[in-house]
Amino acid sequence: MKSSKIQVIGSFLIIAILVVMMLYTVVCAIFQIIIKAGVSNNYINEIFGAEKSSIVEIDFSQLYPFQNTEKEVIEKNPIEKYKSIIEKAKNQIESFTSKKLLGYEKFIEYSYVYNDLISYSLVANSNNDTRIESEDGYFSWLVKKRDVTECVNRLIEFNDYLNDLNINLLYVQAPNKISQTQKISSIYKDYSNENMDNLLKAIKNKIDYIDLRENINKAKLNYLKLFYKTDHHWLPETGLWATKEISSYLNNYYEMNLKIENSNFENYNIERYPKMYLGSDGRYVSLKNAEPEDFCLLIPKFETKLNVKILDMQMNKTDTFENVLIDWSKVKYKNYYKISQYSAYLYGDRPLIEIHNEYIDNNKKILLLRDSFSAVVEPFLALENEYLSIIDLRKFSGSLKSYIHEFRPDVVVILYNANAIVDLNDSSTAMTFEDLANMWDFE
């Protein structure tokens, strides 16, 4: 009986919330009109996500053309073309109904209040992977079991290709937020560590690799505290630590002569922004279920001078670390749902970034194939080496091999996290399958 009364009260509450949301949407719409009229200040632009974008679309296939005719045929296949258009339309609709629909975030928060009123508990799902919250307030993704065979095959083929060019390949396995020993709910099972184990076992003695999980265990680090609570990414401090682990390997095995002392933690000032960051998991479950956490920028104490070229941002600039590698607009305003401070490091997911460190003279070139975990590794790796190029195959539309022939790196480093490992023969096994599949297309 008590439960029925609560449900009735909850239903009336939802109706009241909907009325408020309608009024809220009207007010927001007025602000949007003001913004479009150009009379709003920057603060309003940031709050409502209406800031002007400096990003331009670059056809990298014109700059770095494919030599593989089979690839060209696939790209011109009308069925694949229409499937791609449909997928893009679907993604735009999903984006609007989540990130861009006025008042959406508040509605989600109120829906969780209603769930509490009627004692309803629901685990948040994200396509094929599931989000869970542990008792200590950390949100994690549970990853399904994936066949790694095709990923392994492509890595080996790519390694053979690079060997013919006398270029080294190093695969770096970033850890998942769930450790190999962490106990989770008996209802669910996470296969991320098993997927990583299977991939690394298959490339052992064939491709050089670093399993950063082993490095973490060897250093006896507190595993979970290496990550954000509300996000699947690791902390900038962890990225700095990982950079030193990677560069030490590159020096020891490939004689790269990297200046690894530039990744010593004591050589950095910490600019901390209290309670500013709400990660992707936190945004998904809303502020009702997740607490914002601190975000920090690590700024070197030593002198720096870097030239940075980012074509899709029309950037070609030489300046200090903090003036060319940090996007300060990301920490200018606190907007939990529309601004991700994590992308303050090197401007988020860019197709191609080229960096020349003018204070390093080792005449070495590194090509880094990256995912989002690399965001807090790239800036610090750039401080150790003279030339660093960074390619995100999810965004890069050109031929990787054409770029390699032009850049001629001494080593190619692939830094992928557990979520990047995908069954390339089954698009149902992972969210954003097309992006993940592109990460393993080394043509």
Per-residue pLDDT tens over the stretch 308-326? 999 999 999 999 999 999 9
Q: Please give the structure tokens belonging to residue 22.
A: 């309608």
Please check the confidence at residue 47 and state whether its pLDDT lies above 50. no
Q: Please give the structure tokens belonging to residue 302.
A: 């030593």
Q: Contact 319/329 with Cβ under 8 angstroms? A: no
**119-144 in b/e burial notation, b at 16+ Cβ within 10 A?**
eeeeeeeeeebbbbbbeeebbbbbbb
* Averaged pLDDT, 23-52: 46
Measuring CA to CA, which residue among 261, 357, 345 is closest to residue 301? 261
C-alpha span between 76 and 98 (Å, rounded):
32
Please check the confidence at residue 129 and state whether its pLDDT lies above 50. yes
| pLDDT at residue 35, rounded to an integer | 42
Please check the confidence at residue 351 and state whether its pLDDT lies above 80. yes
Comparison of pLDDT for 172 and 85, the residue scoring more: 172
| pLDDT at residue 302, rounded to an integer | 98
Least confident of 100-104, 256-260, 343-347: 100-104
| pLDDT at residue 20, rounded to an integer | 63
Length of the chain, in residues = 443
Within 38-103, where are the H helices?
Answer: 42-47, 60-63, 69-76, 78-95
Query: Phi and psi at residue 175, in whole multiples of 5°?
Result: -75, 160
C-alpha span between 141 and 189 (Å, rounded):
10
* Angle subtended at Cα 163 by Cα 208 and Cα 400, rounded to the nearest 5 degrees: 90
| pLDDT at residue 54, rounded to an integer | 78
Neighbours of 58 (CB within 10 A): 19
Please check the confidence at residue 345 and state whether its pLDDT lies above 80. yes
Comparison of pLDDT for 117 and 247, the residue scoring more: 247
Measuring CA to CA, which residue among 387, 391, 397, 395 is closest to residue 366? 387
Helix (H, G, I), strand (E, B) or coil at 230: coil
Averaged pLDDT score across all residues of the chain: 83
Neighbours of 101 (CB within 10 A): 13
C-alpha span between 433 and 436 (Å, rounded):
5
Residue 378: band (very low, low, confident or very high) from pLDDT cuts 50, 70, 90: very high
Comparison of pLDDT for 3 and 405, the residue scoring more: 405
* Averaged pLDDT, 408-426: 96
Measuring CA to CA, which residue among 230, 380, 208 is closest to residue 302? 380
Q: Contact 209/170 with Cβ under 8 angstroms? A: yes
Please check the confidence at residue 86 and state whether its pLDDT lies above 70. no
* Averaged pLDDT, 34-50: 43
C-alpha span between 277 and 342 (Å, rounded):
8
* Averaged pLDDT, 73-98: 50
Q: pTM here? A: 0.81
Can you give the residue ranges of every domain in the chain? 129-438
* Averaged pLDDT, 335-364: 96
| pLDDT at residue 119, rounded to an integer | 47
Comparison of pLDDT for 402 and 114, the residue scoring more: 402
* Averaged pLDDT, 134-156: 91
Residue 9: band (very low, low, confident or very high) from pLDDT cuts 50, 70, 90: low
| pLDDT at residue 116, rounded to an integer | 52
| pLDDT at residue 67, rounded to an integer | 84
C-alpha span between 152 and 146 (Å, rounded):
12
| pLDDT at residue 48, rounded to an integer | 42
C-alpha span between 304 and 156 (Å, rounded):
37
C-alpha span between 20 and 110 (Å, rounded):
11
